[in-house]
Amino acid sequence: MKKRVSPRHPASKAPLWAGALLALAVGMQGEALAAAVTEKLVIVQNGETIGTVTGTTDGKSVTVDYYVDDNGRGPKHKETLTIGAGDIPTSWTVAGTSLMGGGVNESFKWEAGQASWTSQADKGAAQSAKTPLYVVNDDSPWALGVYARALLKAPGNTLPLLPSGSMRLVKLSTPTLGTGKDAVPLTLYRIEGVQLSPDYVLLDKAGRLFATFGGHDLAIRQGYEKEVPVLQAMGAEAARTLARERQKALAHRYSQPVRIRNVHVFDPRTGTVGGLSTVIVLRDRVTAVLPADQDPVNGTAPDDQVIVDGQGGTLVPGLHDMHSHTTLDSGLFYLAAGVTDVRDMGNDNAFLQDLMPRIEAGELAGPRITPNGFLEGRSPYSARLGIIPETVADAVKAVDWYADRGYFQIKIYNSMTPDWVRPIADEAHKRGMTVTGHVPAFDTPDRVIKDGYSEVTHINQLMLGWLLKPGEDTRTPLRLTAMARAADLDLNSAPVQATMKLMVDGHIAHDPTAVILERLMLSRAGVTPPGDVDYLDNMPIGYQRYRKRTFVPLKSAADDQAYVQAFAKVLATLKLLHDKGIRLLPGTDDVTGFTVHRELELYTLAGISTAEALRLGTLSPEEYMGHPDLGTIGRGKLADLFLIAGNPVDDIRAIKRPRLVMKGGAVYYPSEIYQSLSIKPFADAPPVTVPAPSAGPGASLGVPGMFGGGHDDDLGD
C-alpha cells in the first residue's frame, strides 16, 4: 500500500496552499454528497395506497417521480427543479402523462430577468427582475411544499404568480404526528388562491414536506401511514372550520318575510315564464305568488319585510345535479350556480354521514343531498369509495347497511362481479331501493337491465355496449377512450334498437353526464374547451390552466377528428333517448355547478327544446325521487330558487348568471360567494332593502356586498 503523505509533512512536494485547496474541495464534495436527500410520500385513498411521490434534493437541484394508479387512471411523470433565491424555483420541467394518459411536457425557466414557460394550457414570456413564482400546470403534491417554502419567505406570506393571480399561505396550527422517537413536530398551513379548493400542507422543522391534503390527494411521508386517520381528522376539521366561517358570513337569514318584487316566474310544468309577479318567502317556504298588479303593498316599502327588487328578471326553481360526488367545498359552488339539490352517486360513507346533518342544520353551506350507496368489486382497478364487499353475501349485507340509513339507491361500479348484480338488485328491491350504476367490466347494458337495474349511469357506459369487442376491459381508461369508435356508430343498428326497447319497456332512466364526455373528447391543449367558454376566464389561474389540456392520447389528426365526430354521435344518442320517452336525469360527475348549466345546454344542442331541458333540470328529478315540495315555485313549496336577469326559455345560458339564490331558509348572493372563493363574479346582486327593526345580532348580514360590494359589471359567464 502506498504511504499516505500529509500536505504538511516535509516530504510533501506540494505547497501548503494547494493542500488546503484540496482539503476544501474534498470537504465541499462531502457536503454535497451529504446534502442529497431522498424523501418519499405515499398517496392514500380510502385506506389504500394508490401512488407515490419521490423527491431527491441535491443542493439546489431536485428531481421528483410522481405515480398514481387510481381505478386505472392517474398521472405518471417526472419533474426536475432548480431552487433559487427566496426558495423560488428558477427552472421547473415536467414530463410524462396526465390523468387519462395524455402527454405532459411542461417547462419553466427564469434567467437574467426573463421568464418563459410552456405547458399543455399555454406558453409565454415575461420580464421580471426577480424570479417569479411559477404555478405548475401538471403538478404533484411535491409542488405544494415548494410553494409553501417560497411563501414563508415572502412579505405577508403572499406572492404574485406566473402566469397570473396570487397565492397566499395561512398558518393554522402546530401539531405533532407520531409517538416516541418517531414523533415529528409539524406546522399546518393552508394554501389558497390558485385552485377551486384550498390545499393543506404539513411541513417539519426543516421545512420538508410531511403531508398534503385538500385539493390534491392525501399524501403522507412513507413510514407514517398509520397516521392517516389522524391526518384525515385534522384535514376535516381545518376544512370544516373554513367552511363554517364562510357559511356564517355568506348565508343571510331573515326573520321577516322576504318579498321579491318585479320578477317573472318560470314554471317547468308548462315550460313558460309568467308575467310580472311578487313572490313572498318566510324562512324556507313560499307563502305567496301574486301578480304584480295584485300585490297589496305594491309601490310601498313595508317596514317589516325584506324587499328584493328583481328588476324584471326571472325566478327559476333550484337546479338539480343528478350525479354528484359531494365534497366539503362543493356546497358554495353549487349554491352560487343555483343548484340547490344533488344526488350523491358515491362517497366516503363516514364523511357523507357527517356532512349531511351539518348542511341540514345550516352549519355548513350546501344543496340538499340525496345519497346513493356505492358498491364496488375487488380488483386492481377498484375505486376506493363506499363499500368493497369480498363475497356476494357481504354485498347483500352492504345493501342492508345503506337501506338502514335511508339511502335512495344502490350504485354498482366497474369492478363488480357481473353474477353479483342480480342478488344485489334483489336485496335492494326488497328494501325499497332501486339500482343504478356503471355497467361492470365484461357485462353489458342489456344484461344489467335484465338483472335489475332501473337506471344506467353515464352515456358512455350505455354506448360502450354497442362499441366494445368481447373481452375488452372497461375497468381501464378504455371505458372513456373507446368512445372514439362512436364516430362510426349506426343508431339504427339492431344492438342499439334492442337496448332502446329494453329501456322503454322497463321504464329505465338514464343519467348521461354528457358534459364530462365533452370534456374528455373535445378538450385540447392550449384551447378553452367549448363547455367552459362562458366562465373559465373568471376562475383562479390554476383551474383555468387545468382545463386547457388534452385528456386523451391523440396520435394523429384522424384521432382528433374521430373524437369530434363521436361526440356529435353522443348528442344524437341523447336526442334518440329523449324521443323514445326515456327519462333523462341531468348529472355532471362534477361539483362546480358550472357543469350543470352546460349539461342542460348540451341537451338543447342535441335538439331538445330549451323549456324541456329546464324541466329536466328542475322538476323532473324531484318527481323521480319523490320530492313533492320541490321543483316548482308556489305557495307552500320549499323556497329553493334562484334569480337571473334574463328569460331562460329564450336563452338557456341566462341560468349561468344567478344574482340571488334561496335554499333552506337562507339567502345567498353569488357575487359574494365568488369573491370569497377567488373567482371574479359573473353578475351583481339585486337591490335589497332590510327594514330597521331587523337590527340586532347578524343584521349586518342582510345587505349584500360584505366581500367588496357584490357588484361587478363583467357578466362574463
Give the pLDDT confidence of 493-529 residue by residue, as tens digits. Answer: 999 999 999 999 999 999 999 999 999 999 998 899 9
Cell numbers standing for residue 229:
386517520
Is residue 694 very low, low, confident or very high in pLDDT (cuts 50, 70, 90)?
A: very low
> Phi/psi at 111 (nearest 5 deg)?
-155, 130
For residue 656, the enclosing domain spans 254-317+632-702
The pLDDT value recorded for residue 140 is 93
Same domain? 113 vs 226: yes
Q: What is the DSSP string of 444-471?
A: -HHHHHHHT-SEEE-HHHHHGGGTPPTT
Contact by Cβ (8 Å): 658, 337: yes
Backbone phi, then psi, for 248, in 5-degree steps? -60, -35
Instruction: Select the more confidently predicted residue: 710 or 256.
Output: 256
Q: What is the pLDDT of residues 224-282, one digit of tens each?
A: 999 999 998 998 899 999 999 999 999 999 999 999 999 999 999 999 999 999 999 99
Reply yes or no on whether the pLDDT at 60 is more than 70: yes
Tell me how far apart the alpha carbons of residues 377 and 389 are, in angstroms, rounded to a whole number: 7
Pairing of strands 666-668, 89-97: unpaired
* Residue 441 binned pLDDT confidence (cut-offs 50, 70, 90): very high
Same domain, 484 and 386: yes
Higher-confidence residue of 295 and 455: namely 455
State the pLDDT at residue 23. 45
Instruction: List, in sequence order, every residue forming a beta bridge with 212; answer none if it has no partner.
Output: 201, 219
Would you say residue 10 lies in a domain? no
pLDDT averaged over every residue in the chain: 90
Residue 39 pLDDT > 90: yes
How much is the pLDDT for 46?
73
Residue type, 147: Y
* Domain end call among 219, 249, 279: 249
Confidence of residue 100 (pLDDT cuts 50, 70, 90): confident
Cis-peptide into 512, omega within 30 deg: no
Pairing of strands 666-668, 660-663: antiparallel
Give me the residues paired with residue 342 across strands. 321, 369
pLDDT at 466: 98
CATH of the domain at 667: 2.30.40.10
Whether 375 has a pLDDT exceeding 80, the answer reads yes
Query: pLDDT per residue over 187-199, tens digit each?
Result: 999 999 888 889 9
Alpha helices, DSSP H only, in 279-348? 330-336
- What sections of 187-286 are H helices per DSSP? 228-250
Residue 101 domain-assigned (yes or no): yes
pLDDT-derived band at 693 (thresholds 50, 70, 90) equals: low
Find the mean pLDDT for residues 366-377: 98
d(CA 636, CA 618): 17
**Cα–Cα distance, 307 to 702 (Å, whole number):** 11
Residues 422 and 405 in one domain: yes
Same domain, 608 and 667: no
pLDDT band at 546 (very low <50, low <70, confident <90, very high): confident
- Going through 193-327 in order, the beta strands assigned E by DSSP cover 199-204, 209-214, 218-221, 258-267, 272-273, 277-282, 285-291, 306-317, 319-324
Claim to verify: residue 308 and residue 377 sit in the same structural domain: no
Q: Is pLDDT at 5 greater than 70 in this prediction?
A: no
Same structural domain, 268 and 191: no
Q: What is the pLDDT of residue 705?
A: 46
Segment 191-218 shows an average pLDDT of 90
> Does residue 3 lie within any of the structural domains?
no
Cis peptide before 163 (omega within 30 of 0): yes
Instruction: Determine the pLDDT at residue 586.
Output: 98
Question: Predicted confidence band at 21 (pLDDT cuts at 50, 70, 90)?
Answer: very low
Residue 276 burial (C-beta neighbours within 10 Å; 0-12, 13-18, 19+) = middle
Q: Cα separation of 42 and 57, whole Å?
A: 18
* Secondary structure tally for the chain: helices H, strands E: 18, 32
pLDDT at 152 over 50: yes
Same domain, 70 and 194: yes
pLDDT at 697 > cutoff 70: no
Q: Classify residue 12: in a domain, yes or no.
A: no
Q: What is the separation, in whole angstroms, between the first and last Cα of the chain?
A: 80
Which residue reads 343548484 in cell numbers? 339
Structural domain includes residue 717 = no
What are phi and psi for residue 544, nearest 5 degrees?
-55, -50
Pick the more confident residue, 268 or 11.
Answer: 268
As a whole number, mean pLDDT of residues 320-342 equals: 96
CA 597 to chain centroid, in Å, comes to: 15
- Residues 561, 448, single domain; the answer is yes
State residue 658 phi and psi, 5-degree precision.
Answer: -60, 145
Q: What is the pLDDT of residue 180?
A: 93
- The residue from 211, 226, 249 where one domain ends is 249
Kindly indicate the confidence band of residue 45, based on its pLDDT and cuts at 50, 70 and 90: confident
Query: Picking from 380-389, 593-602, 645-654, 676-685, which range would have the lowest pLDDT averaged per residue?
Result: 380-389
Of 249, 265, 297, the residue that ends a domain is 249
Judgement on whether residues 388 and 415 belong to the same structural domain of the protein: yes
Q: How far from 229 is each of 221, 232, 697, CA to CA, in Å? A: 14, 5, 38
% pLDDT > 90, the chain? 79
The three-class DSSP label of residue 674 is helix
Whether residues 434 and 471 share a domain: the answer is: yes
Whether 278 is in a domain gets the answer yes
Q: d(Cα 433, Cα 455) in Å, to the nearest integer? A: 12
Residue 699 above 80 pLDDT? Answer: no
Count of residues making up the chain? 717
Mean pLDDT confidence for 27-40: 65
Q: Do residues 332 and 677 make contact, with C-beta atoms less than 8 angstroms apart? A: yes
Q: What is the reported pLDDT for 704?
A: 54
Mean pLDDT of 416-428: 98
In eight-state DSSP terms, residue 136 is P
* pLDDT computed for residue 36 by the predictor: 87
Please determine, for residue 327, whether its predicted confidence score (pLDDT) is greater than 80: yes
Task: State the number of CA atoms in the 13 A half-sphere of 330 facing the CB.
Answer: 27
* Residue 446 clears pLDDT 70, i.e. is over it: yes
Say whether pLDDT at 471 is over 80: yes
Q: What CATH number should be reported for the domain holding residue 543?
A: 3.20.20.140
- Work out the average pLDDT over 354-371: 97
- 300 exposure class (CB count in 10 Å sphere: 0-12, 13-18, 19+): exposed
DSSP 3-state of 264 = strand
Whether 296 and 351 map to the same domain: the answer is: no
Q: Do residues 385 and 346 make contact, with C-beta atoms less than 8 angstroms apart? A: yes
Report the alpha-carbon distance of residue 72 to residue 69 in Å, rounded.
6
What backbone phi and psi angles, to 5 degrees, belong to 36? -70, 115
Is residue 603 a part of any domain in this protein? yes
**Statement to judge: residues 201 and 60 lie in one domain:** yes
Number of domains in the chain: 3
Confidence of residue 25 (pLDDT cuts 50, 70, 90): very low
In a 3-state reduction of DSSP, which class is residue 124? strand
What is the CB neighbour count within 10 angstroms for residue 708? 12
pLDDT at 701 over 60: no
581 within some domain: yes
Summarize the confidence of residues 121-129 as an average pLDDT: 92
11-25, 333-347, 452-466: range with lowest mean pLDDT: 11-25
